[in-house]
A and B are shown apart, each in its own frame.
Chain A
């Protein structure tokens, strides 16, 4: 029975995935004002979605909520800028090197951070990301200090220039789809299953002979790999990189995207990033009296308080509220399946915290 539902649900998921992908492919050709919709909204949502996905994947699979993802994003971005703009290295070499460097820094940070759990982990990754910011400012000879590194030349791929917004959009889309499928795939490998075991019951996994520490390090390293990929894309999106791109507000942006989309689902990262991007673009409209950051903060707090499942969890939450409304007074709860997704969606607090 449950397997039947499972197969059915999986097929629906794939169909939905195909439809969304098709829409995203035609998107740049049908929208008006492509500079705004394709670049300011589409591209930004894609790279912001990838770095948020790295946060969500880590939180969902291991229960560790990291505020440091933007550090690895920044490492790879700065690496490309320093090697290929300040230096003169070919992109064919500097891009893989940059992703590797971001991942390697992620590995080093993981060695320390995964020794702690829960809010300690949150604080520690926050401290790491802020130290990263101060280091970038201090190492001015490499990073250009406060000015950052500008004038990034965009590369060419098979004769197609990244200067063309559609080319860059499709590269970002391909990267996003690739990362998404990779996350989905890993969840089904023995490694992904072991990680879930580590999240739910580390003691038992330890007793079974799994090295919990190294599993956590590996998971964190993988998430920093995703963040590094996003860093490269974001560099070509901005055309420059400054310390302002890795400050606290931006780190919190990644968190907001994840919470807005819903920490229970990796696809939520893209819903959240689109939501935040549109919100931030339109909140500059003179008709809206509140400042952009204040509005973002207020929405973030409201989502945390009232919609812990984010956008992805909305339908479940609505269904549960409807059931409660309809069945007031009765204690019937004959649909056990209904509880499960809700709890997963509420994982922001429970699963992630207890880890």
Chain B
């Protein structure tokens, strides 16, 4: 019982991290039909930036904020310089982001080397949290990830459904041309969404770099899991990402706990199952 609960919590906290990262990917895709395959590289760079800021400022919170803002700016730069001129051709855009991810991975290897980094957990997140039943204790740091993901999720949801800006985004998803015809400056909206989506990857990197480690290859791993999460949940839907992240997190952790040799196969099987029944993902809309 206690083992199952612990594994369940492992799954949920991992899902929280996947949600943070993949929600940025899906936000950008939902608005602009841009698949940012450099998202994994953004995650890793976010982690590195968070680490560097933490080293200098001794403040974990500042590290998180710094990572989010820095990666938001990197994303914005990539969008404005490279992608905007070809944004109508979704395939070409996706390929350019692969190139960017390659360059970033190589440059990060040059600056940070091949060793693993980890952000130092702040004192108030150290130690374990006692649930007070079934003898369940769990690391505070990982529970914080879960809380953070829920807060970010609710904030995103409120932002998209309750604000004027969110209304523009939703309208843009449905009919981009009509939105710009009503006099809204779609360019600014696009830039803002790209900033926000990338910032989420950076934030995810700093948070993930605290719980887990950062090293070359982490970028590909998180890109892969983000892709699986959005493929399972449905591209372009924030709720879909939440559902996908929870499913992928739970399936992979329970598989790892009970039948470790099958962990990645079962994650893959989940994706196949969803695609076989609903090619557009659980909450995705048919293209």
Q: Give residues in A with beta carbon < 8 Å to B.
A: 65, 112, 115-120, 122-124, 126-127, 130-131, 134-135, 138, 247-249, 252, 255-256, 259, 291, 293-294, 296-298, 300-301, 304-305, 308, 348-350, 352-353
What are the residues of chain A within 8 A of B35 when measuring CB–CB?
119, 122-123
What are the residues of chain A within 8 A of B98 when measuring CB–CB?
252, 255, 300
What are the residues of chain A within 8 A of B86 when measuring CB–CB?
304-305, 349
Q: Which of B85, B92, B267 has the most CB of A within 10 A?
A: B92
Cβ A301 vs Cβ B82 within 8 A: yes
Whether A304 touches B107, Cβ cut-off 8 Å, given contacts A119-B35, A122-B35, A248-B220, is no
What are the residues of chain A within 8 A of B261 when measuring CB–CB?
138
Q: Does B276 contact A (CB under 8 A)?
A: yes
Is chain B's binding surface mostly helix, strand, loop or mixed?
helix
Pairs A–B under 8 Å by Cβ, sample size 13: A112-B276, A115-B279, A119-B35, A119-B91, A122-B91, A130-B220, A256-B99, A294-B103, A301-B103, A305-B82, A349-B90, A349-B91, A353-B90
Q: Does B136 contact A (CB under 8 A)?
A: no
Cβ B231 vs Cβ A119 within 8 A: no
Expressed in whole angstroms, the Cα–Cα distance for A305 and B264 within the complex equals 36
Expressed in whole angstroms, the Cα–Cα distance for A294 and B235 within the complex equals 30
Interface size classification for chain B: 35 or more
Expressed in whole angstroms, the Cα–Cα distance for A65 and B94 within the complex equals 11
Cβ B231 vs Cβ A124 within 8 A: yes
What are the residues of chain B within 8 A of A112 when measuring CB–CB?
272, 275-276
What are the residues of chain B within 8 A of A134 when measuring CB–CB?
264
What are the residues of chain B within 8 A of A293 when measuring CB–CB?
102-103, 105-106
Extra inter-chain contacts (19) besides given A119-B33, A124-B231, A301-B82, CB under 8 Å:
A65-B91, A112-B272, A117-B287, A119-B91, A123-B230, A130-B223, A131-B224, A134-B264, A247-B220, A259-B95, A291-B107, A291-B110, A293-B103, A293-B106, A301-B99, A304-B95, A305-B96, A348-B89, A348-B91
What are the residues of chain B within 8 A of A248 when measuring CB–CB?
220
Partner of B92, one of A117, A298, A348: A348
Expressed in whole angstroms, the Cα–Cα distance for A126 and B279 within the complex equals 16
Expressed in whole angstroms, the Cα–Cα distance for A160 and B111 within the complex equals 49
Whether A349 touches B89, Cβ cut-off 8 Å, given contacts A116-B279, A127-B224, A130-B224, is yes
Cβ A297 vs Cβ B227 within 8 A: no
Partner of B96, one of A119, A126, A301: A301
What are the residues of chain A within 8 A of B99 when measuring CB–CB?
256, 297-298, 300-301, 304
- Chain B's nearest CB lies how many Å from the CB of A199? 14
What are the residues of chain B within 8 A of A119 when measuring CB–CB?
33, 35, 90-91, 94
Q: Report B48-78 CB contacts with A as 1/0, cut-off 8 Å.
A: 0000000000000000000000000000000
Q: Does B128 contact A (CB under 8 A)?
A: no
Whether A123 touches B103, Cβ cut-off 8 Å, given contacts A115-B279, A305-B82, A349-B92, is no
Expressed in whole angstroms, the Cα–Cα distance for A248 and B276 within the complex equals 25
Cβ A120 vs Cβ B224 within 8 A: no
Expressed in whole angstroms, the Cα–Cα distance for A123 and B96 within the complex equals 14
What are the residues of chain A within 8 A of B241 when measuring CB–CB?
none
Beta-carbon nearest neighbor of B272 in chain A: A112
Expressed in whole angstroms, the Cα–Cα distance for A259 and B102 within the complex equals 15
Q: Does B271 contact A (CB under 8 A)?
A: yes
Q: Report B161-192 CB contacts with A as 1/0, cut-off 8 Å.
A: 00000000000000000000000000000000
Partner of B264, one of A131, A247, A298: A131
Beta-carbon nearest neighbor of A117 in chain B: B287
Q: Does B228 contact A (CB under 8 A)?
A: yes
Expressed in whole angstroms, the Cα–Cα distance for A127 and B222 within the complex equals 11
What are the residues of chain A within 8 A of B231 when measuring CB–CB?
120, 123-124, 127
Whether A305 touches B85, Cβ cut-off 8 Å, given contacts A118-B91, A252-B102, A293-B105, is yes
- Chain B's nearest CB lies how many Å from the CB of A319? 22
Expressed in whole angstroms, the Cα–Cα distance for A120 and B231 within the complex equals 8
Whether A296 touches B264, Cβ cut-off 8 Å, given contacts A65-B91, A118-B91, is no
- Chain B's nearest CB lies how many Å from the CB of A75? 15
What are the residues of chain A within 8 A of B96 when measuring CB–CB?
301, 304-305
Cβ B92 vs Cβ A297 within 8 A: no
What are the residues of chain A within 8 A of B275 when measuring CB–CB?
112, 115-116, 124
Expressed in whole angstroms, the Cα–Cα distance for A247 and B103 within the complex equals 16
Cβ A122 vs Cβ B103 within 8 A: no
Give 8 nearest A-B pairs by CB, closest first. Answer: A349-B89, A353-B91, A297-B103, A297-B102, A293-B106, A349-B92, A301-B99, A300-B99
Q: Does B100 contact A (CB under 8 A)?
A: yes
- Chain B's nearest CB lies how many Å from the CB of A107? 14
Q: Does B268 contact A (CB under 8 A)?
A: yes
- Chain A's nearest CB lies how many Å from the CB of B108? 11
Q: Which of B92, B94, B98, B223 has the most CB of A within 10 A?
A: B98
What are the residues of chain A within 8 A of B227 when measuring CB–CB?
123, 126-127
Q: Does B265 contact A (CB under 8 A)?
A: yes
- Chain B's nearest CB lies how many Å from the CB of A133? 8
Beta-carbon nearest neighbor of A128 in chain B: B268
Cβ A294 vs Cβ B106 within 8 A: yes
- Chain B's nearest CB lies how many Å from the CB of A278? 19
Beta-carbon nearest neighbor of A293 in chain B: B106
Expressed in whole angstroms, the Cα–Cα distance for A351 and B236 within the complex equals 23
What are the residues of chain A within 8 A of B85 when measuring CB–CB?
305
Expressed in whole angstroms, the Cα–Cα distance for A353 and B92 within the complex equals 8
Expressed in whole angstroms, the Cα–Cα distance for A146 and B228 within the complex equals 24
Q: Does B20 contact A (CB under 8 A)?
A: no
Expressed in whole angstroms, the Cα–Cα distance for A321 and B271 within the complex equals 46
